[in-house]
Amino acid sequence: MTTRVGLIVPSSNTTIETEVPHMLRRHGEVTGERFTFHSSRAQLHQVDAESLDRMVADSDRCARELSDARVDALVYACLVAIMVRGHGAHESSEQHLAEVAAANGGAAPVVSSAGALIGAMEALGLQRVAIITPYLPELTAAVAGYIESYGITVTDAVSLGVADNVEVAGISEARLVEHARRLDTTAADGVVLSCCVQMPSLSAIAPVEAELGIPILSAATATVYQLLRALDRPPVVPGAGRLLSGEPVGAGGG
C-alpha cells in the first residue's frame, strides 16, 4: 500500500523533508507500508512576524497545489507561524486548509506541526514541559504562551536566538543534547527537544530520553504521531522516543 503525504513547507526549510520521510520509512519497515512525499513551498527567509504572515497567506496556494496530486493527508509544517496567532490558531488553520483542499476536489485530513505538538503532549499526559527553540526570545515567549494556553505549564525554556531559517537547519544535534542539559527539568514531566520542524533533533531524542528518564519529543516526532493517527495507522516509529514507541501513552502527567 502506498500513501501520499503532502507537505506545505517554508521555502528555506531543509529538515522536515528529511526527518518526516526518515521516520515514515522506519514505520514502513515495521508495517510494510510505503509513503511518497510531495511538497509545495511558501517563501520564508527570516523567522519574524512579517515574514511569517506572508508565508501563512501563501498556504492556500500550497494546499491547492498538493490537492491536485490527490494526497492522502496534508502536513502544514511551520509551528511558529501558527502559534504566534494565539490560542486556537491551529484548529482554524487546519480546518481552513482542509476546506481549500476539498474545494479543489482533493479532500484530505490536515495536520499542522503546531496542533500536532499540542496533541502529542496531551496524548502523553504531560502537564509541565521544558522546551528548546531556535528562535529569538520574543518568539520563544509566544510559543510558550501558546502551549500554556492549552493548560500545559512551560517550566523552563532555552532560546537559541537564530533568526535566519537556513541557519536553524545547521544547528548541531549533538549540541542539542548539551542544550538539553542546560534545561531545569526538576519540575518537568517531559521535554520538547525542538519546538521547530526546521531544527534537527531526531538522532538526539533517544539518548536525551535515556539520560533524563522522561518523555522527549519534538515538533517533528509529534507531527509524525498525529499524521499516522490521522491516516488511521499505528503511531509506531522505532528509535523516535516514547511517543512513537507503540507503548501506551498518557502516563507522563503527575
Express each pLDDT in 190-221 by its tens digit. Answer: 999 999 998 999 999 999 999 999 999 999 99
Does one domain contain both 193 and 93?
no
Q: Which three cell numbers stand for residue 78?
A: 511551520
Q: Which of 222, 128, 220, 253 is nearest to 183 (CA)?
A: 128
195 is catalytic: no
104 is in an annotated binding site: no
**CA–CA distance, 113 with 123 (Å, rounded to integer):** 15
Verify whether residue 78 is a known catalytic residue.
yes
Mean pLDDT of the chain: 91
Tell me, yes or no, whether 132 and 49 share the same domain. no
Domain assignment present for 148: yes
Give the model's confidence band at 43: pLDDT under 50 very low, under 70 low, under 90 confident, else very high: low
The band of 91, judged by pLDDT with boundaries at 50, 70 and 90, is: very high
**Helices then strands, each counted (H, E), the chain:** 11, 8
Residues 108 and 152 in one domain: no
Same domain, 174 and 108: no
Query: What average pLDDT does this structure show over 8-36?
Result: 92
Which residue in 196, 204, 220, 249 is the catalytic one? 196
pLDDT, position 14: 82
Structure confidence at residue 144 as a pLDDT band (50, 70, 90): very high
Split at pLDDT 50, 70, 90, the class of 250 is low
Band (pLDDT 50/70/90 cuts) for residue 78 is confident
Q: Which of 78, 89, 123, 176 is catalytic?
A: 78
Cα–Cα distance measured from residue 206 to residue 24, given in angstroms and rounded to the nearest whole number: 17
Q: What is the pLDDT of residue 48?
A: 55
- For residue 246, count other CB atoms closer than 10 A to its CB: 12
Q: What is the pLDDT of residue 97?
A: 93
Neighbours of 182 (CB within 10 A): 10
- Domain that residue 192 falls in: 116-218
* 253 within a domain of the structure (yes/no): no
- Please report whether residue 251 resides in a domain: no
Q: Write the pLDDT tens digit of every residue in 116-126.
A: 999 999 999 99
135 is in an annotated binding site: yes
Is there a single domain that holds both residue 86 and residue 19?
Answer: yes
- Note the pTM of the prediction, 2 decimals: 0.92
Assess whether 154 and 238 both reside in one domain: no
Whether 17 and 75 share a structural domain: yes
**Residue 253 binned pLDDT confidence (cut-offs 50, 70, 90):** very low
The Cα 178–Cα 216 span in angstroms is: 14
Distance CA 192, CA 206 (A): 13
pLDDT at position 251 is 46
- pLDDT band with cut points at 50, 70 and 90 for residue 254: very low
Is residue 103 one of the residues assigned to a domain? Answer: yes
Same domain? 176 vs 144:
yes
Number of domains in the chain: 2
Could you tell me the three cell numbers for 154? 512551560
CATH number for the domain harbouring residue 194: 3.40.50.12500
For residue 182, pLDDT beyond 60: yes
In a domain, 208, yes or no: yes
Assess whether 76 and 158 both reside in one domain: no
SS3 content of the chain, % helix, strand, coil (to 5): 45, 20, 35
Residue 171 lies in a domain: yes
78 marked ligand binding residue: yes
